[in-house]
A and B are shown apart, each in its own frame.
Chain A
Amino acid sequence: MEHIPENTHIHRDDEASKIGMWLFIFTEMLLFGGLFIVYSIYRYLHPVAFELAADELDVAAGTINTVILLISSMTIAMSVSAIQKGDRKKTLMFLGATLFLALMFLVNKYFEWGSKISHGLYPGSDSLHELGHGDTLFFGLYYFMTGLHALHIIIGVVLIATVMYRVYKSRVREDKYALLENTGLYWHLVDLIWIFLFPLFYLVT
C-alpha cells in the first residue's frame, strides 16, 4: 500500500485489527468446538440418559433466548450500518437495543437456571447423583457450556457499553469505527455459539 494520505499522523490499520479479531474468534470456535466433541461423545455413550435429561430443559425458555440473540445480532449489525452513514444517534439507539436484549437474555437465563437448581438439578446435587452417570454428565455439560456462553454475554455487555460511551464521545465515528465493527463480530460469535447450543441441549430430546 503505497498511497498513504498526507494527513495521516497516527498509524492506524483497521484491516489488521479486524484480522486480529477474526483470529481471536477462531480460538473461541476451537474452544467451543472441543466442548461440542465432549458433548457428542458422551451423548453417544449415554444416549438414553441424555435424551431423558434434555427433556427436563424448557424449550420455550430456550426458544425465547434464541429469538432475543438473533434480534440483538441484527441490531448490532444495523449499528455498524448507522455509523458508516455517520448517523451517531441511530448508532447509539441500535447499540442500546443490543445492550437491552443482552440483559434480557441474562435475566431469562437466571430464571431458567434458578428453576433447575430449585428442582435439585445442579452439579454435585443428591438428586443428580441418584439419576446416574449420564444425567450427571448432561447437566455438568449444560451448566458449563451455557455458563461459559453466558460469561461471553457478560463480556459482550461490557464491550457494547464501552463502545456506546466512545460513540457518545465521538471517539468512534464515521471514519474510525473499527472498535464497533470488532465488537459486532464478537457479538455475532456469541450468537453463533448459541445457534449450536440451542438445538443440542433443548431440541434434540
Chain B
Amino acid sequence: MDNNGKPHIVPYKNHIAVLAVLLILTALSVAVTSIELGPLTVTVALLLATAKALVVLIYFMHLKFDNIIYSIMVAFVMFSIISIIVITFLDYLFR
C-alpha cells in the first residue's frame, strides 16, 4: 500500500477549484431544467447529477489518491444499483 506512510495532502486551492466545478454544474442543471425539454429534462438532470456525484467521489472522497480497491468497490456498487433499476423497469415496461 503506497499510502501507508505519507498521506496525499490535497492543497486548499484544489478544494476550491472542485467546489467551483460543482457549483457550475448545479447552476447548469437549474438553468437547463427551467427550459421545456419534455422527457429530455429528466435525462439531462440525471446526467448532470451523475457528473456531480463522480466529482465528489473522485476528489472529495479521495478515490483518485486512494488504493484502487476503493474505486473497484464503488464501481461494483454503482453497477449493482443501475442493474436493479434497469431490471425493475424492464419488468414494468414489458409486463
Contacts and interface: CB of A to CB of B under 8 A. Distances in A.
Nearest to B27: A63
Contact of A22 (B23, B52, B70, B89): B70
Interface string B22-51: 110010011001100000011001101100
A195 B29 CA distance: 11
A148 B76 CA distance: 25
A15 B67 CA distance: 10
Nearest to B10: A81
Contacts of B18: 74, 77
A81 B15 CA distance: 10
Nearest to A199: B45
Interface string A76-114: 011011001100000000000000000000000000000
A205 interface: yes
B84 A37 contact: yes
Secondary structure of the A side of the interface? helix
A80 B7 CA distance: 11
Give chain B's interface residue range (CB within 8 Å of chain A). 35 or more
Interface stretch (A26-34, A120-128, A152-160): A26-34
25 contacts: A1-B1, A15-B67, A29-B77, A33-B81, A67-B23, A73-B22, A73-B60, A74-B15, A77-B15, A77-B18, A77-B59, A77-B60, A80-B10, A185-B61, A188-B61, A191-B60, A192-B57, A195-B52, A199-B29, A199-B46, A203-B29, A203-B30, A204-B33, A204-B42, A204-B45
Given A30-B77, A203-B30, 19 more contacts: A19-B70, A22-B73, A30-B81, A33-B84, A40-B85, A40-B89, A74-B15, A77-B18, A77-B60, A78-B12, A81-B12, A81-B15, A191-B60, A195-B49, A195-B53, A198-B49, A199-B29, A199-B33, A199-B49
